[in-house]
Amino acid sequence: MTTAIPRFAGAGNLIYRAEQVPRFVRAEGSYLEAADGRRYLDAEAANGTVAWGYDKQILRDALAYCEDLPALPSFCESDLRLGVLQRLERLFSEDIGAPGRVELDLGGAQGMETALRIAFSAVGPGTVVVFEGAFHGRSGVTSMLSSSPRYRELLAAWGLEVVRLPSPDCGRCPHAAAPAAACATGCVAAATRWASEVSGVGGAGFARKVSAFIFESVQNVSGMVEPDAALLRAAVDHARANGAVVIADEIFTGMHRTGPRWGFQRSGVTPDVVVASKALTNGAAALSAVWAREPLAAPQTYRPGSHSSTYIGIPHALGVARAVLDRWDGWADPAADVERLAAGLTDRLKQLQAAHPGLVSDCRAFGGAARLVLTGDHAPALRRLCLSADPRIGLIVASTGMAPDVINIHPPLVITERELDVMAEVLDRALTLLGESLAGGGA
């Protein structure tokens, strides 16, 4: 364990938000191993990236694809890049039912910025609409889109006008006194009232209007919140009717994390632009893909030279993407298998809820993602306890500042039934310790 920030390490990194941080030296399957030999089951999948688990063969396959082209100028083309682009475009277009084009970028935040470039090229720069609870990155531009004011304390693009629709989380909804089974008429009205004279936000017929509506099919950082399907469809329809480009942030949910290939398929909406990233490289390279329906990214709309970055087309990242795409192509029925994973997560979390009714108020799994809702803001404490509660094995889960009462669980999609049992056993021990601490006045 690292118990102090090293003298040579920048202190602002998220790594050091905890007092004790495991130092990992190897990983395989669903497990990480620390320098002291202790093993940790990763039920967080490296920020949701390692859908295939920690698999060294992906790196070997990637090297075989790129070893003859170790680097490339950013203004040059390669067969490797074109092959990856063609395969990616097909993944999007098959499910959306429309042709499109793919632009590449680095991480998720950079991909979101490229999506805005494409939208603004098509309809002009303007206001961007998002939901409360959104997380779209922490760069200067994307921090404006993300909800937490903390992300904008040091760097922000204050010239970008952003309007936030009410939270799609029924548990935090201002239009209902208690959580409801689905969104009510008032929720839909609140999400579609912009573009009127009294709303303060321009739409069709206004010189300054909304250029883009961005949504997540599941709000990961906000505590694994899935917007009501009817609400999301109404918000998308309203945005499109007012000339806005509809952008789906599939950075976390893309590639079967929530069951279908794309999270937006759960609600039946069809976006104009899709941003994917994490599962495209299984955490082994920084790469995002931005798909845009024709003609949004065509040369007459998105002028060549509008975007460039030194590392966007590096062969290493493209080789990793090709190797991971090979894996996805070889999985016979990922959607059905991930739904079975959802059932396994649900069974175990329901058992934990029944065993700890004073600590767990709710749970839900959708695909390979789940939320364990606590009765108070105890998620940071529970997350820390999971690292040490069991003498045999540690457990890595997630919690966020925007949802301190929720434990986020999103393991590798290839996690085994036995590993799910281990996860539940460690969570049970950690919840017991949390209950004892609370009873004694701690946590």
Give the CATH number, domain containing residue 257: 3.40.640.10
Residue 48: CB atoms within 10 A of its CB come to 24
Residue 403 lies in a domain: yes
pLDDT of residue 443: 64
Q: Report the percentage of the chain scoring pLDDT > 90.
A: 85
Count of domains forming the chain:
2
175, pLDDT greater than 70: no
Cα–Cα distance between 163 and 112 in angstroms, integer?
A: 17
Label residue 308 exposed, middle or buried (CB < 10 Å: 0-12, 13-18, 19+). Answer: exposed
33 with 65, same domain? no
Which residue from 271, 306, 277, 323 is spatially nearest to 104, judged by alpha carbons? 277
Cα–Cα distance between 258 and 152 in angstroms, integer?
A: 29
As a whole number, mean pLDDT of residues 200-219 equals 88
Whole domain around residue 412: which residue ranges?
Answer: 14-54+333-439
> Cα 180 from chain centroid?
25
Domain limit, last residue, from 272, 305, 330: 330
Domain limit, last residue, from 330, 346, 373: 330
The answer to whether 298 touches 99, Cβ cutoff 8 Å, is: no
pLDDT of residue 332: 96
Helix (H), strand (E) at residue 289: strand 288-293
Domain limit, last residue, from 297, 330, 363: 330
b/e code 129-164 from CB counts within 10 Å (16+ = b): bbbbbbbbbbbbbbbbbbbbeebeeeebeeebbbee
Q: Report the percentage of the chain scoring pLDDT > 70.
A: 97
300 with 320, same domain? yes
Residue 139 lies in a domain: yes
2, pLDDT greater than 80: no
322, pLDDT greater than 80: yes
178, pLDDT greater than 60: no
DSSP state of 413: T
pLDDT of residue 1: 72
Cα–Cα distance between 55 and 284 in angstroms, integer?
A: 10
pLDDT of residue 160: 95
227 with 270, same domain? yes
The answer to whether 209 touches 242, Cβ cutoff 8 Å, is: yes
At residue 207 the predicted structure's pLDDT band, cuts being 50, 70 and 90, is: confident
248 with 382, same domain? no
305 with 198, same domain? yes
292 with 226, same domain? yes
Q: How far is CA 236 from CA 201, 212, 220, 230, in A?
A: 16, 10, 20, 10
Q: What is the pLDDT of the chain when averaged over all its residues?
A: 94
The answer to whether 47 touches 137, Cβ cutoff 8 Å, is: no
Which is higher by pLDDT, 253 or 5? Answer: 253
343, pLDDT greater than 60: yes
Residue 4 lies in a domain: no
Task: Return phi, psi of residue 75, to 5°.
Answer: -100, 15
Residue 52: CB atoms within 10 A of its CB come to 22
Label residue 86 exposed, middle or buried (CB < 10 Å: 0-12, 13-18, 19+). Answer: exposed
90 with 222, same domain? yes
269 with 166, same domain? yes
Structure confidence by residue, pLDDT tens digits, 90-110: 999 999 999 999 999 999 999
pLDDT of residue 340: 97
Q: Which of 94-98, 182-186, 416-420 has the lowest mean pLDDT?
A: 182-186
179, pLDDT greater than 80: no
Cα–Cα distance between 421 and 349 in angstroms, integer?
A: 11
At residue 184 the predicted structure's pLDDT band, cuts being 50, 70 and 90, is: low
What is the rounded radius of gyration, in angstroms, for the C-alpha atoms of the chain? 22
Which residue from 431, 416, 349 is spatially nearest to 383, judged by alpha carbons? 431
